[in-house]
């Protein structure tokens, strides 16, 4: 540690060990505890050199603008679409995220949602709890084995999902605009609707942001078809949520497993009523092991930055 503690603004409540480390080694300001922002900015704004945030909290340019000496934003999470990267680049502010350490947890969440929708686990549990087992049989579900898992976004998490799904004896296909990856043997589709048509489970794991906004639209959902399922562990912005609600209500797709939504934590009321939809509250990376690893990596980034101005896992802006 340098002898003078750097001032760091923390955007929202963080993992306990990260909070403890930051409080020990830095001069921490907790944004959510600041009562009079104007007074705080006047007293501390110019001192702040670092911001710690998460993929969910992101940052807001209007406040960053009031931190004239900000050098670095360290984000908890792999996705950083809740930050304006052009703005950060323009100001020369560095950004770090937490890649790799959450690949397994997010992949397991995707598989959990696939199993849950295909075997109707949530619906079956509601059936037992409602005392309906004594008076009737529960309807059948679908195998994963032998089905096609279509992956939209074959990055590191996408590849982990592919590996896990292959363990269930699924056929793996993926969408990538243009050429197939040279080092991947899974079936490539250069057209998203074609992948959807070929898939029994369409798993969305592309980064959020303007380039992927509403990539999964009405036409893709129609192509997926009435016996197939959409799984989203990426960002709510990647799916046209109104089109998804419509497709589910019309029976255009067989069901959905959704961990992310357009306007979290708000979930469209129509989805709450549907038995063929499994809804989880953005828990993709939410395991003890993974969140600890993410917290450690954020802390390593903050510490290293204030040691030697470099980052462990920088985002290329």
Q: Which stretch binds ligand 8YV (CB under 6 A): 50-58, 85-93, 138-146, 221-229?
A: 50-58
Asked if residue 56 binds ligand 8YV (CB under 6 A), the reply is yes
Query: Judged by CB, which is closer to ligand 8YV: 45, or 77?
Result: 77
Asked if residue 45 binds ligand 8YV (CB under 6 A), the reply is no
d(CA 142, CA 94): 47
* Closest distance to ligand 8YV from the beta carbon of 172 (Å): 23
* Closest distance to ligand 8YV from the beta carbon of 179 (Å): 27
The CA-to-CA distance between both ends of the chain, in Å, stands at 27
Half-sphere exposure (CA, 13 Å, Cβ side) for 196?
Answer: 22
Asked if residue 257 binds ligand 8YV (CB under 6 A), the reply is no
Looking at the chain, list the stretches that DSSP marks H as alpha helix, in order from N- to C-terminal side. Answer: 16-25, 37-44, 61-64, 85-91, 103-118, 121-129, 156-167, 192-198, 218-224, 241-250, 269-272, 288-308
Asked if residue 76 binds ligand 8YV (CB under 6 A), the reply is yes
d(CA 208, CA 214): 10
Asked if residue 78 binds ligand 8YV (CB under 6 A), the reply is yes
- Contact map string, positions 275 to 304, toward ligand 8YV, x by CB under 6 A: -------x-xx-------------------
Please say whether the beta carbons of 189 and 195 come within 8 A. Answer: yes
The site for ligand 8YV (CB under 6 A) is made up of 54-56, 76-79, 102, 282, 284-285
- Residues belonging to the active site: 235, 264, 282
């Amino acid at each position: 540690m340098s002898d003078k503690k750097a001032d760091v603004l923390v955007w929202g409540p963080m993992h306990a060990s990260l909070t403890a480390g930051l409080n020990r080694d830095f001069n921490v300001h907790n944004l959510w505890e600041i009562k009079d922002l104007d007074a705080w900015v006047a007293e501390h704004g110019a001192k702040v050199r670092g911001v710690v945030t998460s993929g969910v909290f992101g940052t807001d340019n209007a406040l960053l603008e009031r931190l004239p000496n900000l050098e670095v934003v360290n984000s908890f999470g792999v996705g950083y679409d809740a930050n304006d990267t052009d703005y950060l680049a323009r100001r020369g502010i560095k950004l770090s995220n937490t890649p790799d350490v959450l690949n397994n947890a997010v992949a397991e969440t995707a598989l959990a949602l696939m199993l849950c929708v295909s075997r109707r686990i949530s619906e079956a549990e509601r059936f037992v709890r409602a005392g309906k087992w004594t008076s009737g049989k529960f309807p059948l579900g679908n195998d994963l084995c032998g089905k096609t898992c279509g992956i939209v976004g074959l990055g590191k998490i996408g590849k982990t999902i592919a590996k896990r799904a292959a363990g269930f004896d699924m056929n793996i296909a993926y969408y990538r605009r243009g050429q197939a990856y040279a080092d991947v043997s899974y079936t490539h589709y250069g057209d998203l609707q074609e992948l959807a048509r070929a898939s029994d489970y369409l798993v969305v794991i592309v980064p959020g942001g303007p380039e992927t906004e509403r990539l999964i639209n009405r036409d893709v959902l129609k192509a997926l078809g009435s016996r197939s399922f959409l799984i989203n562990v990426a960002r709510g912005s990647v799916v046209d949520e109104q089109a998804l609600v419509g497709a589910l209500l019309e029976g255009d797709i067989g069901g959905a497993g959704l961990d992310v939504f357009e306007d979290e934590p708000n979930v469209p009321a129509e989805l709450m009523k549907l038995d063929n939809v499994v809804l989880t509250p953005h828990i993709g990376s939410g395991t003890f092991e993974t969140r600890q690893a993410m917290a450690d990596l954020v802390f390593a980034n903050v510490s290293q930055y204030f040691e030697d101005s470099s980052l462990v896992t920088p985002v290329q802006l």
